[in-house]
Amino acid sequence: MSPSAQLVIVANRLPVDRVDEPDGSRRWRRSPGGLVTALDPVMRANDGVWIGWAGGTETDLEPFEDDGLSLVPVPLSSEEIEGFYEGMSNATLWPIYHDVVAKPEFHREWWDAYVTVNRRFAEKVVNVAEEGATVWVHDYQLQLVPQMLRELRPDLRIGFYLHIPFPPAELFAQLPWRRQLLEGLLGADLVGFQMSGGAANFVRLVRQRVGHKTHRDLVYLPDGRTVRAAAFPISIDAAGFEELARSEGVEERATEIREALGEPRKVFLGIDRLDYTKGIIARLRAFSELIQDGELDVDEAVFVQVATPSRERVEQYRILRDEIDRLVGRINGDLGKIGQPAISYLHSSYPREEMAALYRAADVMVVTPYRDGMNLVAKEYVACRYDDAGALVLSEFAGASDELRQAWLVNPYDINGMKTALLDAYRAPAKETSRRMRAMRKTVLRKDVTAWARAFLSGLAEVPPDHGKQVKPPRAS
């Protein structure tokens, strides 16, 4: 039987990963993401329910509880995983929403799968949400859910949050289903974005492509409802990361990591999902050129690059993996010495403890995406540097650069500029790095993920029961 709730979180994935034990039994392990940490207390306080895909193809998973959280799985068939998840979500929308860093593909059958799966999510919500409940829908995989829900359940208060960038009108316009996507989002009362630029892009597109009246952050719909579009920059569990970083186990592990690397003078670090938006190749190239130019020496500096496996059945991701493998092999072959590779490359995912130890071990953190909604790795690094040491090299095109102004900001398309920034960060006197780090730490610790969730949910709570029907557009002057 489905549980019922006054608060329903809807995301593509459930906040747990399945672990298959050697004896054939199954258990669930909480995913390490910040979203779960942020929503956990809100979920508990409101007896909330989380609806999402469990990651496999089982069709018979019943709603279940894990550590007091009520979870409702949405099944996906292998064809749906291909069309909805790998296809429409990650080979069409993902590249379009990230500045077309890779070429998007458009397939009508992928769109059909996207509609079918979004409807399935909406129907699950209908079964679970109590009268007048608050429903918070997350991310680009589920942009049609708000409108589908609105039609099925006009009593609900619906919020939508986009975790990735919302593209400029000129790129969004390429989508054959642009109008349906905009109308899908307009089913929400509040649409949240990482940056104010994304919110402005959305409002402009709604005016241009759907023809609704808009004023500042409000859209006025023909049925009288108003929809607000605003920025809510996401963050991390900063105090949690700092506490972890301060733990003895993590400090010991950080020392071990530096020893294993041969006690270099400086450690550069990159940690990313293996994704073409992250700029991994360009950053490794910049680092290797510094060695070739004689500015850095493998006896003194090493680059640790962690690339977490991701979306491995999507072609662009496979191609990228091969490219990185080849590049790392070439750089190490050309520039490394026995026991001293220029790049220490790890294709693996690690628990939070190991990530914290890596952050503690790194002198220069390098985060150079071509486009990124926020980039939480940059904020995690800052949270772990309670000693005010460590330099952050950060792309201007990561949302985080808006808040972390004291980082060494770079344009990842400019390899020479990146080389200069890497070197400046490497050579910066301790006084300068700690001045910058102190300022960034203030920002990250003040605006954590709990503040983010609270801000969004209070925005949603302000929506009047008539969904803003009393609010009238200002008269044209």
| Contact set with ligand F6P (CB under 6 A) | 12-13, 33, 139, 163-164, 310-311
For 456, the token pair is: 């969004």
Kindly give, in sequence order, each residue whose CB lies less than 8 Å from that of residue 296, ignoring residues fewer than 6 positions away.
287, 290, 423, 426
What is the rounded distance in angstroms from the CA atom of residue 131 to the CA atom of residue 154? Answer: 10
Q: Closest separation between CB of residue 339 and ligand F6P, Å?
A: 35
Q: Closest separation between CB of residue 164 and ligand F6P, Å?
A: 5
Question: Would you say 33 or 240 has its CB closer to ligand F6P?
Answer: 33
Amino acid identity for residue 65 in this structure:
E
Question: Would you say 149 or 164 has its CB closer to ligand F6P?
Answer: 164
Question: Would you say 202 or 317 has its CB closer to ligand F6P?
Answer: 317
Question: Would you say 198 or 468 has its CB closer to ligand F6P?
Answer: 198
Q: Closest separation between CB of residue 270 and ligand F6P, Å?
A: 17
Question: Would you say 277 or 288 has its CB closer to ligand F6P?
Answer: 277
**Phi-psi domain of 122 (left: phi exceeds 0; alpha: psi -120 through 50; beta: other):** alpha
Q: Closest separation between CB of residue 53 and ligand F6P, Å?
A: 9
Q: Closest separation between CB of residue 90 and ligand F6P, Å?
A: 6
Q: Closest separation between CB of residue 289 and ligand F6P, Å?
A: 30
Closest residue to ligand F6P: CB criterion: 163
Q: How many CB atoms lie within 10 A of CB 315?
A: 12
Contact call for residues 217 and 223 (beta carbons, < 8 A):
no
Contact call for residues 169 and 200 (beta carbons, < 8 A):
no
Q: Closest separation between CB of residue 376 and ligand F6P, Å?
A: 9
Residue 85 to residues 115, 173, 317, 356, 458, Cα–Cα distance (Å): 12, 21, 14, 30, 31
Question: Would you say 13 or 225 has its CB closer to ligand F6P?
Answer: 13
Best CA proximity match to 370, nearest among 325, 320, 329, 445: 320
Q: Residue 463 — φ and ψ, nearest 5°? A: -65, 125
For 215, the token pair is: 């004023």
Best CA proximity match to 183, nearest among 201, 153, 205: 205
Taking the CA atoms of 346, 350, 354 and 355 in sequence, report the sign of the dihedral they define: positive
Question: Would you say 270 or 390 has its CB closer to ligand F6P?
Answer: 270
